[in-house]
Chains A and B, each alone.
Chain A
Amino acid sequence: EVQLVESGGGLVQPGGSLRLSCGASGFTFSTYWMHWVRQAPGKGLVWVSRINSDGTSTTYADSVKGRFTISRDNAKNTLYMQLNSLRAEDTAVYYCARPQNSGSYYYWGQGTLVTVSS
């Protein structure tokens, strides 16, 4: 059974940093691209970032470019997102997701809440 489990969320002050993790199981993690999607409270889904299977290629939404860094450790079956220079508008539930061949997301984690507030 495929499972994605996020962790690392919490309360952080503006300008602070946080590292999110997404542990994967039930599939060959090293062969799949992985993505992060976020959702601010009461708002819609927003694509954040993606990384290719071996970690050599990454892309980011303009809103997080230069502040967030996606990475992965295929030996540990874990996806990461380093969040730096956090702003109030980064407050959201962060989901990791595994795309299918069509680019659609069938598998999602349960989400981890990041709250940026003083």
Chain B
Amino acid sequence: DIQMTQSPSSLSASVGDRVTITCRASQSISSYLNWYQQKPGKAPKLLIYAASSLQNGVPSRFSGSGSGTDFTLTISSLQPEDFATYYCQQSYSTLMYTFGQGTKLEIK
């Protein structure tokens, strides 16, 4: 099974900060890496698919990069609505998708 490890597990930042979250796969997953944002009580929202493609309607301050085993999600200038929990997910293995454990982004 492919394991996904996110870091950090939590992060405090201020409005306007640049923030980076990393995700590492236990084996190469090419670019089959997706990023989600989740707010309390809501279903996750897709931000980035295929490692670096911005989902329609998602603000351009969100970006993704990486391939193989190491990936990053960057928020260029944090806005108040960005404080949430972020998850990576691999879709390389069609038998079994897996998520990272999540990164909770809190207001400093």
Contact = CB atoms under 8 A, between A and B. Distances in A.
B49 A46 contact: no
Interface of B: 1, 32, 34, 36, 38, 43-44, 46, 49-50, 53, 55, 85, 87, 89, 91-92, 94-102
Contacts, number: 62
Contact of A100 (B43, B49, B92): B49
Given A37-B99, A104-B34, 10 more contacts: A47-B97, A59-B95, A95-B43, A99-B91, A102-B49, A102-B91, A103-B34, A103-B94, A105-B36, A110-B43
A108 B96 CA distance: 18
14 contacts: A37-B99, A44-B100, A44-B101, A45-B44, A59-B95, A61-B96, A102-B34, A102-B50, A103-B92, A103-B97, A104-B50, A104-B91, A106-B55, A108-B44
The majority secondary structure among interface residues of chain A is: strand
Contacts of A61: 96
Nearest to B40: A42
Interface of A: 35, 37, 44-47, 50, 59, 61-62, 95, 99-100, 102-106, 108-111
Given A100-B49, A105-B46, A111-B43, A44 B97 contact: no
The majority secondary structure among interface residues of chain B is: loop
Nearest to A108: B43
A62 B97 CA distance: 12
A35 to B, nearest CB: 7
Contacts of B94: 103
Contacts of B91: 99, 102-104
A22 to B, nearest CB: 12
- 3 shortest interchain CB distances as A-B pairs: A103-B91, A108-B43, A104-B49
